[in-house]
Amino acid sequence: MAGFDEATALHPVGDGTFDTFDAELDGSWSIGGKLNGGYLLALLGRAACVAVGSEGHPHPVAASAHFLHAPDPGPARVEVAVLRAGRTLGQVRASLHAGGRHCVEAVVSVGALDGGTWWDGVPPVELPAIESCPRLPVQGPGFEVPLMAVVAEHLDPAVMGWAVGRPSGAGELRGWAAHAEGREPDPVSLLMFADALPPATFDLGSAGWVPTLELTCHVRAVPAPGPVVVRQRVRHVSGGRVDEECDVWDSTGRLVATGHQLAGVRIPEGQAPATRR
């Protein structure tokens, strides 16, 4: 089992101008055979930071990705173009290619993360102690979720009704998450944590996986050591697409990242959402 840093390692190709990298997409970061969108975003976020260089721009601040094709685990190529390297922010175009296809197109703004919180409209969710929250198994609902071996996710028992056929109807999952290898979270891995929970549509009774179409993550602070708290909420399901919002707090209760995504969702004909209980 490779760690997160190995799974997002970048090897410069050619003359070392840091515009093209080889990467190895690690199947550990997958769900039912599909690589996790947050993992791919983290890979591109890391490439953007490397491309701009560390001085004044050490972290991803805002990263937006559109998903064109689902890449298979294995070799991939990352291409980056620094569009601007400003004083406080730089912007980078980053794309992922694998199996002869353009798989992900992203734009990443990189910069420094510092300064305290002035106003917080997103207070942290309250969770039972991690020991009281069951860890999600690698065996998912009808398919394997290798991601659950590399990301330790301990969900609040109150949102686990879907696992026994009794979704709450609230459209919200929440729990603790950490690198299973013991590595501490950092701004690059927050891009992954912001898409690491199961789809919150499970809590509405929709059992299918939801392929991410677009994912944007805003990183707000460097996380403190320790597991992060993640809340994934459905906002709206219509026209075969779902809009989900994900907030991530560090172990001190500080909001450190927010993800917003639009994903595909297949609702069987005639199925109604779970009734709120």
Residues contributing to the site for its own copies (CB under 8 A): 61-62, 64-66, 68-69, 83-84, 86, 89, 91, 93, 102, 105-109, 113-122, 171, 204, 213-214, 216, 218, 220-221, 233-241, 243, 255, 258, 260, 262, 267, 273
Q: Decide whether 65 or 196 has the Cβ nearer to its own copies.
A: 65
Q: Are 101 and 40 in contact (CB under 8 A)?
A: no
Report angle CA 32, 168, 264 to the nearest 5 degrees: 40
The span from the CA of 219 to the CA of 190, in Å, is: 7
Helix (H) or strand (E) segment spanning residue 47: helix 37-52
What dihedral angle (degrees, nearest 10) is formed by the CA atoms of 142, 213, 107, 51?
Answer: 30
Least distance (Å) between residue 50 CB and its own copies: 18
Least distance (Å) between residue 49 CB and its own copies: 15
The span from the CA of 29 to the CA of 227, in Å, is: 18
Q: Decide whether 251 or 258 has the Cβ nearer to its own copies.
A: 258
Q: Decide whether 107 or 147 has the Cβ nearer to its own copies.
A: 107
Helix (H) or strand (E) segment spanning residue 133: none
Q: Decide whether 152 or 215 has the Cβ nearer to its own copies.
A: 215
Least distance (Å) between residue 146 CB and its own copies: 27
Tokens of 39: 């993992």
Least distance (Å) between residue 59 CB and its own copies: 11
Least distance (Å) between residue 3 CB and its own copies: 28
Residue matched to tokens 């609040």: 156
Q: Decide whether 226 or 264 has the Cβ nearer to its own copies.
A: 264
Q: Closest Cα to residue 215, out of 105, 121, 58?
A: 105
